[in-house]
Amino acid sequence: MNQMHSSRWIVLDTETTGTDADNGHRIIEIGCIEIVERRKTGNNFHVYLNADRDSEEGALRVHGLTREFLADKPRFGDIAAKLLDYLDLDAGPEIVIHNAAFDLAFLDAEFARLDPSARPFSESLTVVDSLQVARERHPGQANSLNALCKRYSVDATARTLHGALLDSELLADVYLALTAGQAALSLDLAVESVEQRLSVDPRRLPRRTIVPSNADLERHSKRVEALVKIAGDAVVWRQMAP
C-alpha cells in the first residue's frame, strides 16, 4: 500500500457472501463516502451486486442480502469502470477502510477475475486502515465500528444490519473524530511555516473572519459532547463557553 497525504478521502466498505475471498466468495455491495478537506461532499458511490452464488449463513445474518434480492443487480464486471472513475486514483485519494485487509482481498479477487495478468488492484491504492488508527489511539480497547460509534457519539441506531453505504457513512464520522487532533496539528504546522517564510510578527498576518453556519454549530456541539465524554471537564471549549 502507498502512503501519502491527500485532501480527498474515500471511505469504503463492502459486504460479501462470506469471509474468504480465496475460496470463491464475492462482493455483493460496495459503499463509498467522499470527504474533501474534512467535509463530506455528498458525492457517494453505492451499488448492490449479483454474485451468482448464495451467501454463507453467518454472512447472511450480518447483511441480510439474499440471492433473490441480488438476482437482478449488475455483476462486478458491469460496474468496475464506474468504480474506478469514481475513485479517480490518478488524483491520489486516500482510501479509508476499517480492517482494510479484508475488503482489499475481495477487491483484488474481483479485479483479478476481470484481468488475471494485471497487478493486484490494492497496489494502486493509498490506503488508511482506520482500525489500525483506532488501535493506536485507543490501545487495549474495543475498536469495532460499533464501539467507536459509541465512543465518539456517532448515532448508529440505524445499523440493525450491516450495509456498505451505511457503514461507510458511520465510519466517515468516526474517522473525522479520530483524526480531529491531527488536523489541528497540521494547521498549526502550516501557520508556523507561513510565519517563517514571511518573517513577520504573526499578529500582523492577514486575518479573515469566518461566520459558522447553524449546521457547523450543530456539528461543533456534537463534537464537543463527544470530547467531554472522553476528557471530562478538561475540554477547553467547554471551559470557554459563556
Q: Whole-model pTM?
A: 0.74
**DSSP H or E segment with residue 36:** strand 27-36
Question: Can you tell me the distance from the alpha carbon of 31 to that of 97, in angstroms, rounded to the nearest whole number?
Answer: 11
**What element of type H or E holds 13?**
strand 8-16
- Active-site residue (options: 5, 25, 138, 162): 162
Task: Record the cell numbers describing residue 123, joined without a space.
Answer: 497496489
Q: For 163-184, what is the mean pLDDT?
A: 89
Delimit the domains of the chain by residue range.
8-180, 213-237
Which CATH code fits 8-180?
3.30.420.10
φ/ψ of 118, rounded to 5, equals -75, 155
pLDDT tens, position by position, 72-117 = 999 999 999 999 999 999 999 999 999 999 999 999 999 999 999 9
Say if residue 207's pLDDT is above 70.
Answer: no
Helix (H, G, I), strand (E, B) or coil at 16: strand
The C-alpha atoms of residue 145 and residue 142 are separated, in whole angstroms, by: 9
Could you tell me which residue, 230 or 141, shows the higher pLDDT?
Answer: 141
Q: Closest by alpha carbon to 167, among 30, 50, 36?
A: 30
Kindly report the backbone phi and psi dihedral angles of residue 10, in degrees, each rounded to the nearest multiple of 5, phi listed first. Answer: -120, 115
Rounded-to-integer distance, Cα 20 and Cα 24, Å? 7
The grid coordinates of residue 45 equal: 458511490
What is the predicted pLDDT for the residue at 68?
Answer: 98
* Average pLDDT of the residues in 218-226: 74
Task: Give residue 83's identity as a one-letter amino acid code.
Answer: L
Q: Residue 138 catalytic?
A: no
Q: 125: closest CA among 102, 100, 94, 97? A: 94
